Amino acid sequence: MNNRTEIASLGEFGLIEHLTKNFEIQNASTILSIGDDGAVIDHFGKQTVISSDMLIEGIHFDLMYSPLKHLGYKSVVVNLSDIYAMNATPTHITLNIAFSNRLSVEALDDFYEGVFAACEKYGVDLIGGDTSTSQKGFIISITALGEITADKVVKRSGAKKGDLLCVSGDLGSAFLGLTLLEREKKIYLEHPEIQPDLENEQYIVGRLLKPEARKDIIEFFEQSNILPTSMMDVSDGLSSETLHICKQSNVGCVVYEDKIPVNDQAKQYAYKLELDPTACALSGGEDYELVFTVPQSDYDKLVLNEQISVIGYITDIEEGVHIITKGGSTHHLTAQGWNAFKQ
């Protein structure tokens, strides 16, 4: 950023025009986009999936270590992740933001650059929204829409006894990235002369600051003719999401600690901090992986995808929700899996 243009110099409508002028429509279903009271989309007989999320400075992100471009990207991705978690294809987003005059037009440009990069990567159209002033901090609220044929919707509530419990990618890295950045922030605030060295920790930092949604997994399901019986994205941590699926499906399950995928760099950093990598995976959150269940008969198809790990299986509700540790002992899984695990 070499220049600083005050937002007031553009005015509200000028600002919206400035921020959205280079944005091209990607979906044929987008009949009318930004610039009217509402946007209009057509459906060609499909159903629409909708999800909405808010990100608030100081609560969900820290501008001290979140570059605005990454923040724009992540804001879109976390919403698309919810659409993929329904087995749907995201098509449209609306974006409401509020900010104080601490931010310049150039800063907002960076944020929108990230928004547009995510829209382009995932084939999504930004079709509307609202810009506003805030009393304090930067506030982002996004609603994402996706499309799906009626018989492909995957809810949280369809897991059946005997189904395999699976997860995409690896877990716990975003939490460790957050721990690292919070640590470096603290050091920097106390000793501004010390530059943070993140060279060896790019993976976990990247997982926090610029997560991706698992479009590839949904495409793999389609290609492989797999229809999960239940699915959720991992925003709060594997424990919490597994408990949601079990509760809404009225089932129990068993998770094997040694099957939970954790990246090697993440493991190393966890050990460095004397944290249990499994605890990070269970309770860390913000990984935006997919946790899902499939019938056992899909096992042969699943193993062809290295990005998918089978981590357990679904049981009767009476059997509860358990984790079997590497040492072979059995523990109840709770939403605060980490604390529970440490008992």
Pick between residue 72 and residue 277 the one whose CB is nearest to a copy of itself. Answer: 72
Q: Kindly state whether residue 51 participates in binding a copy of itself, applying the rule CB under 8 A.
A: yes
> How distant is the alpha carbon of residue 289 from its chain centre?
7
Is 50 one of the binding residues for a copy of itself (CB under 8 A)? yes
User: Pick from 5, 26, 96, 268: which binds a copy of itself (CB under 8 A)?
Assistant: 96
Asked if 153 interacts with a copy of itself (CB under 8 A), we say yes
Q: Tell which positions 263-322 bind a copy of itself, by CB under 8 A.
A: none
Q: Is 325 helix (H, G, I), strand (E, B) or coil?
A: coil
Q: Which is nearer to a copy of itself, 205 or 245 (CB)?
A: 245
- The two structure tokens encoding residue 105: 């037009």
The yes or no reply on residue 28 touching a copy of itself (CB under 8 A) is no
Alpha-carbon dihedral sign for residues 265, 336, 57, 190? negative
CB of 282 within 8 A of CB of 289? Answer: no
Q: Is 60 annotated as a binding residue?
A: yes
User: 195 is written with which tokens?
Assistant: 């530059």
**Residue 328 is a binding residue for a copy of itself (CB under 8 A):** no
Residue 248 interacting with a copy of itself (CB under 8 A): yes
Burial status of residue 207 (CB atoms within 10 A of its CB: 0-12, 13-18, 19 or more): buried
- Residue 214 found at the interface with a copy of itself (CB under 8 A): no
Residues 67 to 86: which contact a copy of itself by CB under 8 A? 82-83, 85-86
Is the backbone of residue 169 left (phi > 0), alpha (psi -120 to 50) or beta? Answer: left
> How far, CA to CA in Å, does 49 sit from each of 38, 52, 149, 155, 228?
18, 11, 10, 11, 17
- Tell whether residue 94 is a contact of a copy of itself (CB under 8 A): yes
- Interaction between residue 182 and a copy of itself (CB under 8 A): no
Q: Residue 338 annotated as binding?
A: yes
The letter for the amino acid at 10 is: L
**Given the complex with a copy of itself, which of 111 and 269 has the nearer CB atom?**
111
Find out whether 209 and 177 touch, Cβ atoms under 8 Å.
yes
d(CA 160, CA 246): 9
Question: Residues for the chain: how many in total?
Answer: 343
Nearer to a copy of itself (CB atom), residue 48 or residue 265: 48
Q: What's the rounded Cα separation, in Å, for the pair 148 and 223?
A: 15
Stretch that binds a copy of itself, among 29-37, 167-175, 215-223, 271-279 (CB under 8 A): 29-37
- Contact partners, residue 259, CB within 8 Å, separation at least 6: 309, 310, 311, 312
Nearer to a copy of itself, 155 or 161 (CB): 155
In 85-201, alpha helices (H): 105-122, 173-190
26 binds a copy of itself (CB under 8 A): no
Q: Which stretch of DSSP H or E encloses residue 167? A: strand 164-168
Q: Which stretch binds a copy of itself (CB under 8 A): 47-55, 269-277, 302-310, 315-323?
A: 47-55
Q: What order of strands is seen across the sheet that includes strand 252-256?
A: 230-233, 290-294, 164-168, 308-315, 252-256, 321-324, 330-332
| Residue 14 touching a copy of itself (CB under 8 A) | no
Q: Which stretch binds a copy of itself (CB under 8 A): 38-46, 109-117, 188-196, 258-266?
A: 38-46
| Numbered residues of the known binding site for ATP | 112, 129-130, 156, 235
| Numbered residues of the known binding site | 37, 51-53, 60, 82, 112, 129-130, 156, 233, 235-236, 286, 338
Which residues here bind a copy of itself, judged by CB under 8 A? 31-32, 35-43, 45-54, 56-60, 82-83, 85-86, 88, 92, 94-98, 127-130, 132-137, 139, 141, 143-146, 148, 150, 153, 155-157, 231-233, 248
